[in-house]
Chain A
């Protein structure tokens, strides 16, 4: 039978079906989990930029519960941003940002207080920058710089300065050795903020008073 001309075709077909079925079955089993992980990474990023919702070591299910309970989804008024409300009063917005990084897209969330000026935090849920260099943007040392920075109304909303430079109220230090990642991230943040703020001013009929 092995000498028949059709044997390789049938053999290949049978083998492919066999291995593919196992892979398909396996991905069905893990599929829900994989999707949940991706979703949870986003929820975690949103929670960590909003004040008082995130602390290290919180379990996955607790994070998910907090997200569902406390965070309102984007609506017409807020544009793309998620909102944290406390008894009807808006406390802060979480604006998803994304754009091309050095190697692959960077996706993250930036938190802005209800005054539309003060940054509450920044977090990333998808990036593929160089480990040890560009990937440092996910580390606390880099991210914590953003807290309480003020969005500048003139020029760039936020500036990335060289690690040796003095910082103003709208400046953060770039990542050493990752010029490309820093420059691209700066653009991603500024483009997103500018776009969102102008849209926000339009839909709500009130600009910032400056």
Chain B
């Protein structure tokens, strides 16, 4: 059962072979085991789509959809899937949901589809999705797997939204395209670098720093 040990890599040992507890899943996904600032997964899309809040919102919705349903589907099939080809099956399932999202966007929201460019398709390779399917979906019933996927995606989303809001505000003086007082005025010299790729690295670094500091202090206090 060497594979069983492998699957602990992302989720930590506590996610396997234990009775699922909804409260714990939620807190883990949103905070204690947050995909972005704790596990540092899915960074590519964090950097790529966070320069406009609207793009980020759509990206997050797409990820929530993909991740929760993929995890649930992987979990449904877990009793039948042979261990040695499970990752191929997982990729297949993830790809399936991502293509659905991509097609829906292309058909009903073509402007957004062009805005996001290749990043919707790249959800397939988003490590969070594969990571949760491997670490949780593979070994737990569909209900908790869905919940785990959903809240991990939500944990990813709220970090992305924080980053996106700050980047769009400082870089363009707007939030969701609406001009903000002061920042869109003549006194604010727009920080173009914030909406360019380097801005994402700065923001991600700062956000990870702040959230980890809070987490460390909290852990320290509870000891």
Contacts and interface: CB of A to CB of B under 8 A. Distances in A.
Q: Do A and B interact with each other, yes or no? A: yes
Contacts of A126: 114
A22 B85 contact: no
Chain B interface main SS type: helix
Contact of A15 (B55, B89, B99): B89
Interface of B: 51-52, 55, 77, 80-82, 84-85, 88-89, 92-93, 95-96, 99-100, 103-104, 106-108, 110, 114-115, 117, 168, 171-172, 192, 195-196
B84 A8 contact: yes
Nearest to A30: B107
B85 A12 contact: yes
Contact of B106 (A8, A22, A30): A30
Given A15-B92, A16-B92, A26 B100 contact: yes
A52 interface: no
Interface stretch (A128-136, A166-174, A193-201): A128-136
Nearest to B83: A8
A33 B113 CA distance: 14
A27 interface: yes
Contacts of B84: 8
21 contacts: A2-B80, A7-B82, A8-B84, A11-B81, A12-B88, A12-B89, A19-B92, A19-B93, A19-B95, A22-B96, A27-B103, A30-B104, A33-B107, A37-B107, A41-B110, A126-B114, A130-B196, A132-B51, A132-B168, A135-B115, A177-B196
A34 B106 contact: yes
A22 B69 CA distance: 15
B51 A131 contact: yes
Contacts of B96: 19, 22-23
B42 to A, nearest CB: 19
A130 B100 contact: no
B114 A131 contact: no
A176 interface: yes
Contact of A30 (B103, B114, B195): B103
A115 interface: no
Contact of B82 (A2, A30, A34): A2
Contact of A128 (B82, B114, B171, B195): B114
> Nearest 6 A-B pairs (CB), nearest first?
A30-B107, A132-B195, A177-B192, A37-B110, A33-B107, A19-B96
A38 interface: yes
Given A12-B88, A38-B110, 16 more contacts: A2-B82, A7-B82, A19-B96, A23-B103, A26-B100, A30-B103, A34-B103, A34-B106, A34-B107, A126-B114, A128-B114, A130-B196, A131-B51, A131-B55, A133-B192, A176-B192
Interface string A38-58: 100100000000000000000
Chain A interface main SS type: helix
Contacts of B114: 126-128
A33 B104 CA distance: 10
A68 interface: no
Contact of B85 (A8, A26, A30, A127): A8
Interface in A91-132: 103-104, 126-128, 130-132
B85 A132 contact: no
A127 to B, nearest CB: 8
A132 B81 CA distance: 45
Contacts of B88: 12
A183 B100 CA distance: 37
Contacts of B107: 30, 33-34, 37
Contact of A104 (B82, B115, B117): B117
B3 to A, nearest CB: 14
Nearest to B96: A19
Contacts of A131: 51-52, 55, 115, 195
Given A16-B92, A41-B110, A23 B99 contact: yes
A44 B93 CA distance: 37
Given A2-B80, A12-B88, A132 B93 contact: no
Given A30-B106, A132-B168, A132-B172, A11 B100 contact: no
